[in-house]
Structures are given as C-alpha cells and as structure tokens.
Amino acid sequence: MLASWRDGPARRAIEDFVRRTTDPSSPEVIPAEERIVVTDNDGTLWCEKPMPIQLDFLVRRLGVLATADPSLRDQQPYQAAYERDTRWLGAAMVKHYRGDDTDLGLLKAAVTSAFDAVEVEEYDRAVRAFFAEADHPTLGRPYRACGFVPMVELLRYLEAHDFTVYIASGGDRDFMRPIAPELYGVPPERVIGSALGIDYRDGRLLYRAEMDFFDDGPEKPVRIWSRIGRRPVIAIGNANGDLPMLEFAGVGLPALRLVVRHDDAERETADSGGAEELLARAAREGWTVISMKDDWERVFT
C-alpha cells in the first residue's frame, strides 16, 4: 500500500509503529477508537511553495476587488494581488513561521473583508470553480494534482489499520473541505482548520469580516481537542506551526511524529523556510523525518 515509498528509516518507522500499535498481541496495542491521526495540509499533503494554494485563490479574489476599486492598488496585499506578485505573499508566510506577523496581519484583514457576508454554500462553489481550472505557477500541473502521492498512500495505509485521519491545517477549513474528499479521501467533518466567524440569519450562514481563530502553532492542539475530544497518536507536519501539534500527540499512549522535509529541488522544492525550529526539535528528540528526495519513489501523480 506504500507503493511510492522507498525502503528506508521513514517507511520502516511507520510500518513498525503500525505493527506495534495494531497487532492484538502487542503490549503497545491502541484501541481502534483511540487511533487518531492528525496531519497538516500545506507542505505536508500538498505543496505550499512558492505560496500556499489558498493564497492564489485569495490573490485572484483580491485582484478582482482591486480591478473594481483602483484606490486599493497601492495598498498591500491588494497591490501584490493586482500585480500577481507572489514573492510578497510567500514571504509573508515565512515571516509568520519565524514569528513576524506584520504582513500576515495585512493579509488576514484583506482576506476577511474579501468574503464579508458571503454565504457558506457560495464560497464552497467558488472553491470548486477555482480547483476546476487553476494551475500551479511553477510545477506545470493543476492544483488538484498537487497532492503528494506517498502521503495519500500513507493515509490509506493507516485507515486500513483502523486509524481515523483528520486534517489539522493552518489553512481555511472551508477552503479544504470541498476538495479534501477527492484529493485525500477525507470527508468535510474531518477537516480542521482556520475559520472565519459566521453569522446565522434566516436559514443562511454568512461569513463575518473577522477570523474566528487562526489554527496554527499552539492553537492546533486546542482545535484538535475541540473537534475530536482525544489526543492524536500520530501527528504529521512540516513547519514550525506544527510543532505544538506534534508535541501534543500521544501522551499516555505510544506516539508517532512525522516531519516532511522539503529537500527535493528537482521534483518539488528544497525550501525549508519556516521549518528550522521543527527540524531541530525532530533531530533532538528522534522524531521521524521524511525526506522527499530519499524516501519517495515519486512525488506527484
């Protein structure tokens, strides 16, 4: 089932953990209902460089707003959106992972006003339309084909051993939900992520012009608990924002912590900006690091 995984320490650590925790005769067996897996999305299940896919969706939306209102064009992030300047946007995320939220603050404000009073079902349709046509800017493939094949295989392998997979992402929950079933086989009720506030009015749910919460860093364990009511036993991430989630996994039970390292300039990217702290911690504590270059036979479909 892990057909795209080469033999190596990562694959062996995964198979060994699954054997130890699911073999009924093992002293470390975990009851099926406790076999909870949480995985980050951006940079873990699909690519996030040169910028998270959701940012491209937002860029297009902000670009439309800046086209309609020229006064927006000399303000960030509308300027970057209007000029399709992806560098400013990608840098904003790296700054965030390094602890500087200045640019992310500008982005958040624009994002929230971009969908003010939009109904949840209308947003769902906009996301589906985006994925039906949008292509990755450098990889030459549709965004809907940017999922990492070995990771999707891993999710199926875990499910075959009665693990239940949740996506726990800093990305917008409702941006992932329309495509998570097709890309990852994960249904909407198992997608955890950042969220806009929502108002209920006369049978309709309308987004507010403010975030409910930003699901990254120490907020990830909080939102995992809120949704699941259990600690995960497997946690998978790739950036500093995933560190608390990995740390949170498996207290009182065995735990497997996986870190995806972007070291494959040829097939994807060798940019680990924003992952320094996580990689250092993984090395210090012996968490399993997955090398895209060494551990994966192929990356994409």
Residue 7 vs 199, nearer CB to a copy of itself:
199
Q: Strand pairing of 234-237 and 36-39?
A: parallel
Residues 130 and 57 sit within 8 Å (Cβ to Cβ): yes
CB of 64 to a copy of itself, least distance (A): 25
CB of 1 to a copy of itself, least distance (A): 24
Question: What's 163-176 look like in SS3?
Answer: CEEEEEEEEEHHHH
Joined together, the tokens standing for residue 235 give 């946690």
Residue 142 vs 218, nearer CB to a copy of itself:
218
Residue 100 vs 212, nearer CB to a copy of itself:
212
Residues 118 and 206 sit within 8 Å (Cβ to Cβ): yes
Q: Strand pairing of 191-201 and 288-291?
A: unpaired
Q: Give the residues lining the site for a copy of itself (CB under 8 A).
A: 33, 120, 173-174, 177, 187-189, 191, 195, 198-201, 203, 205, 212, 218-222, 225-230, 244, 247-248, 251
Output the CA–CA distances (angstroms, integers) from residue 210 to 2, 149, 172, 197, 220, in the order listed: 41, 35, 13, 6, 19
CA distance 44 to 258: 10
Residue 203 vs 286, nearer CB to a copy of itself:
203
CB of 113 to a copy of itself, least distance (A): 20
Residue 133 vs 189, nearer CB to a copy of itself:
189
How many helices and strands, by DSSP H and E, does the chain display?
13, 7
How many Cβ atoms from other residues are within 10 Å of residue 101's Cβ? 14
**Per-residue DSSP letter, 207:** E
CB of 49 to a copy of itself, least distance (A): 27
CB of 142 to a copy of itself, least distance (A): 23
Residues 102 and 96 sit within 8 Å (Cβ to Cβ): no
Residues 146 and 300 sit within 8 Å (Cβ to Cβ): yes
Residue 72 vs 165, nearer CB to a copy of itself:
165
Joined together, the tokens standing for residue 100 give 């500087």
Residue 72 vs 259, nearer CB to a copy of itself:
259
CB of 40 to a copy of itself, least distance (A): 16
CB of 72 to a copy of itself, least distance (A): 30
How many Cβ atoms from other residues are within 10 Å of residue 215's Cβ? 23
Residue 108 vs 208, nearer CB to a copy of itself:
208
Residues 127 and 179 sit within 8 Å (Cβ to Cβ): yes
CB of 120 to a copy of itself, least distance (A): 6
